[in-house]
Structure 1
Amino acid sequence: MSEEGTGYDAARIEVLEGREAVRKRPGMWVGSTGERGLHQLVFDVVGRAVNQVLARGGGSVAVTLTPDGGVRVTDDGTGGPFEAVGNTLGPDLEALLTGFPAGPEPSGRHIAEVGHLGGGLFVANALSSRLTAEVPSEGGRRIHEYARGVEVTPSATTGSATGSGTTVAFWPDSEIFQTTRCSFAVLAERFRQVAFLNRGLGISLTDERPTGGEARAVSFRFPEGVRDFVAALHAETGAAVHPDVIGFEREDPRMAGAMEVALLWCGSREERMRSFANSRATHQGGTHVEGFRDGVAAAVTAYARAHGLPAAEPDPGADRICRSLTAVVSVKLDRPEYLGATRGLLGNTDVRGCVEEGVREHLGDWFEENPERAAEFVGRIVRGVQQD
């Protein structure tokens, strides 16, 4: 078909770069211009703050929904100069706010993926009607201000400052988003998950927007990590707090990463499973979930056979054995591989065998160290299988 026939030629191609590209096609960078995209914008900014904190081994991130519709994110992380001076370990804050990184985006087991698309500060800046960044500088606070991604005033240093953290405040652009009012509940639930999955991290969320009542505030920090996560999932069923949350952590160079697993037999016939890779929820599961189920099934079957517990068949199957579990499986990998466009299914092939081995060995040891509770749990599972 000729260009004349289609009425379309090279002269009609519009090439957009930088902030113009982001503002022209915001859905490509935050997923939508609705509430989901608005929350992604928040997660992009909070993600940078979280990883600044994790880089120093722990600390706090404070998120505030301000009365004028803005979002303020403050961290006590590693900080650093606004512009890079000399040799640096990565892009400085100015570079992150004013352009896409030249190289690949940071990744690896030490990076928490708070959002799902990874647009970063540049996308947040371009899609905000106003953004300010404050960093410590020569004993004061150096402030930079942008409007829709363009710096509007020369930077200024004011007041005094201690510590090394950064504050980024931004006002989502009403010309882009259908709504600029964030959901407190949606943000709080995601921050709670991230705190569960990263021990040493504290995240708070405060809502100062006028609602006719007092400001809402929540704060999350979980010293037991995913063990606390499983206990919380169990509590959501209305059951009493259960003492037998079983958990372990293990690094495994074969999968270039680490695993953190916790589980609880709750006596119901409904599995409550949550899985994550680098703090990203894997709603479709993946090799880490398959390995977990394989490991639980192997440990339970081996214990039942060794202790003469009857089984309905030689191999009841992982799905039937895990049916009464509440569990969290979290892996942190140097090179996570996802299947599908939504990145909700982990595909690293080495992960399955490593997680299976870790779960089988740790759960087997726990059975031997706690024979009375092990007999109760395994016996309950076997009876459930026999009743099918």
Structure 2
Amino acid sequence: MSEESNAYDAGKIVVLEGLEAVRKRPGMYIGSVGERGLHYMVFEAAERALDEILSGTAGRVEITLTADGRVRVADDGTGLPVEHAGHSDGPAVEARLTVLSCGAQPANRRSLSGGYFGVGLAAVNALSGRLTAEVRRDGARWVLEYERGVAVATPTRTGPADGSGTTITFRPDAEIFETLEFSFDTLAERFGELAFLNRDLDITLADDRDPAAPRAVRFRFPGGPRDHIAEQGADPLHPDVIGFEREYSEMEGAVEVAFRWCDSREERVASYANSRPTTGGGTHELGFRDGLAAALNAHARERQLLTPSDLDLTPAQLGAGLTAVVSVKLDRPEFLGAIRDRLGNGPVRACVAEAVREHLAAWLRANPAQAAAVLARISKSIAPLELRCCDDR
């Protein structure tokens, strides 16, 4: 190959600007052009509306899969500002739909921070064959329409409006995505997670794709993770869910934990940081397991269920039958790993461990019979150790 054919200079550099870059390399902005990226579009469109509930400016969000293949995300908030209406309180809807990351919230405990890429509504607009935004604000109704990220016309005031809010309706672009088939169950799982992790959220997910069998589910958990754990698992060893919430200045955030043991060998521990699933674990999950081990070992020795010659139970031995949610919300979360699925904040481990140890120790002392049942269940999965749980000491 000649030197001339290998030459690389400024003339070969192609600069992609704005939404053109999103359409050219969609995977860089939404992760994939398969089913995962398709669902990410829905989460990104909904995140702004859900943050309005958390900030107190909206009460509910409705996500609908329509019969013609579109997705509609509607909220009852104040309505996004419209440039043509002369509003100046925050980024206008036009900017949010055409400028990447416009209006995106910084990662902190008061916002969902669920968007892995933080590109906002602009990426949804760029990758939609058609997108319509309807804004109801100050008694007026405005409609904005786009095709593949390009405005079809100027924002139009279409008449009066009852109430306020913003509705984003989009159809993913068939030229971009490998599939246009949304999974109701996948969306329901994620919106259910967001609802029990943020007890103020009120989310309805509806599926109108089959007119003969429409379905809808409402996600609202006033009790937070405790409500979720109460619905999980069969044959619980104790009726009440152990749960608490505590703030720590040392980790610049708060921890909320809920858990219960069932008569099962299965362990189901789900951890989250700023409402993001941390499937790779991290310091919050390690702290949770440290706290469990500390409280259970202390109780077992106090009740002489472990002798001085017995080794301590390790965190890895305590998961049989355990169902738990470990959630931390931090002002400055540090996510590790190639897909940022592991929490790295150092102070979190000690804070979570302390909180779990104290609350579990108090529950064990207050419920000796249930405590013995938990330790007996754990002992079944540990060989050759046999705790003396049958001794009524």
Q: TM-score, normalised by structure 1?
A: 0.91
Native 8 Å contact 2:74 2:166 kept in 1: yes
2:267 equivalent to 1:271: yes
> Where in structure 2 are the equivalents of 1:60-71 lying within 5 Å?
60-71=60-71
Distance (whole Å) between structure 2 residues aligned to residue 160 and residue 5 of structure 1:
63
Once residues 332 and 64 of structure 1 are traced to their aligned partners in structure 2, the CA distance between those partners, rounded to angstroms, is: 29
Distance 2:57 2:362 in 1: 30
Q: Secondary structure at the match of 1:285?
A: coil
Match of 1:201, SS? Answer: coil
The offset of 1:104, in angstroms, is 7.4
Shift of 1:137: 2.9
Indicate if the aligned counterparts of 1:78 and 1:165 stay in contact, CA closer than 8 A.
yes
Cα deviation per residue 1:173-204 (whole Å; 9 max; x = unaligned)? 11111222211111111111111111021111
| 1-structure distance, mates of 2:334, 2:231 | 29
Q: State whether structure 2 residue 144 is matched by structure 1 residue 144.
A: yes
3-state DSSP class of the match of 2:313?
coil
Q: Which residues in structure 2 correspond to 1:1-388 (within 5 Å)?
A: 4=4, 6-56=6-56, 59-83=59-83, 88=89, 90-101=90-101, 105-209=105-209, 211=210, 213-234=212-233, 238-239=234-235, 243-310=239-306, 313-382=310-379, 384-385=381-382, 387=384
Q: Which amino acid aligns with 1:116?
A: Y
* 1:344 CA drift (Å): 0.7
Residue 6 to residue 339, structure 1, CA distance change in 2 (3 Å): same
The answer to whether the 8 A contact 1:95-1:101 is kept is: no
User: TM-score by structure 2 length?
Assistant: 0.90
Structure with greater helix share of residues: 1
Aligned-residue sequence identity (percent) comes to 55
CA distance in 1, matches of 2:114, 2:212: 30
Supply the distance in 2 between the matched residues of 1:380 and 1:206 (Cα, whole angstroms): 41
Moved more, 112-121 or 321-330: 112-121
Question: Take 2:363 and 2:327, find their aligned partners in 1: how far apart are those partners?
Answer: 20
Q: Is the 8 A contact 2:259 2:322 kept in 1?
A: yes
User: Given the superposition, is the C-alpha separation of residues 195 and 338 from structure 1 closer, same or farther in structure 2, using an over 3 Å criterion?
Assistant: same
1:326 deviation in Å? 0.9
Contact in 1 for aligned 2:58/2:76 (Cα 8 Å): no
188-197 or 285-294: which moved more?
Answer: 188-197
Deviation at 1:370, TM superposition (A): 2.2
Answer yes or no: is the 8 Å Cα contact 1:301–1:315 preserved in 2. Answer: yes
CA displacement at 1:5 relative to structure 2: 5.6
Structure 1 Cα separation of the partners of residues 377 and 156 of structure 2: 67
Give the AA of the match of 2:239. P
Tell me which amino acid in the other structure corresponds to 1:10. Answer: A
1:314 Cα offset (Å): 2.9
Number of residues paired by the alignment? Answer: 383
The letter for the 2-side match of 1:61 is: V
Segment drifting more, 50-59 vs 30-39? 50-59
Gaps of 5+ in 2: 386-393
Q: Look up the equivalent residue of 2:192 and give its one-letter code.
A: R
CA 1:223–1:371 in 2, change beyond 3 Å: closer, same or farther? same
Q: Distance in 1 between matches of 2:150 and 2:69?
A: 20
Distance in 2, matches of 1:102 and 1:117, equals 12
Residues 97-106 or 221-230, more deviating = 97-106
SS state at 1:166 partner: strand
| Unpaired segments ≥5 residues, structure 1 | none
- Contact 2:237 2:370 survives alignment (8 Å): no
**Counterpart of 1:81 in 2: which secondary structure?**
coil
Q: Secondary structure at the match of 1:154?
A: coil
Partner residue in 1 for 2:389: none
- Tell me the CA shift for residue 324 of structure 1: 3.0
Q: Deviations over 1:219-260 (max 9, x none)?
A: 1111111112222331xxx54796221100111111111111
The residue type equivalent to 1:200 in the other structure is D
**Superposition deviation, residue 271 in structure 1:** 1.3
**What one-letter code is carried by the residue in structure 2 that aligns with 1:149?**
G
Mark the CA change 1:356 to 1:78 in structure 2 (over 3 Å): closer, same or farther: farther
> How far has the Cα of 1:151 moved from its partner?
1.4
Q: Is the 8 A contact 1:58 1:201 kept in 2?
A: no
> In structure 2, do the counterparts of structure 1 residues 113 and 3 end up closer, same or farther at CA, with 3 Å as the change threshold?
farther
2:196–2:225 contact (8 Å) kept in structure 1: yes
Partner amino acid, structure 1, of 2:223: E
Q: Are 1:40 and 1:116, in contact at CA under 8 Å, matched by a contact in 2?
A: no
Does the 8 Å contact 1:134/1:166 carry over to 2?
Answer: yes
Residue 112 of structure 1, CA deviation? 1.1
Tell me the distance in 1 between the aligned counterparts of 2:45 and 2:103.
19
Task: Report SS of the residue matched to 2:358.
Answer: helix
Alpha-carbon RMSD across the aligned residues, in angstroms, is: 2.4
8 Å contact kept, 1:131–1:171: yes
The 2-side partners of 1:145 and 1:103 are apart by 19
Cα 1:335/1:2, change in 2 over 3 Å: farther
- SS for the counterpart of 2:318 is helix
In the TM superposition, what is the alpha-carbon distance from 1:122 to its structure 2 partner? 0.5
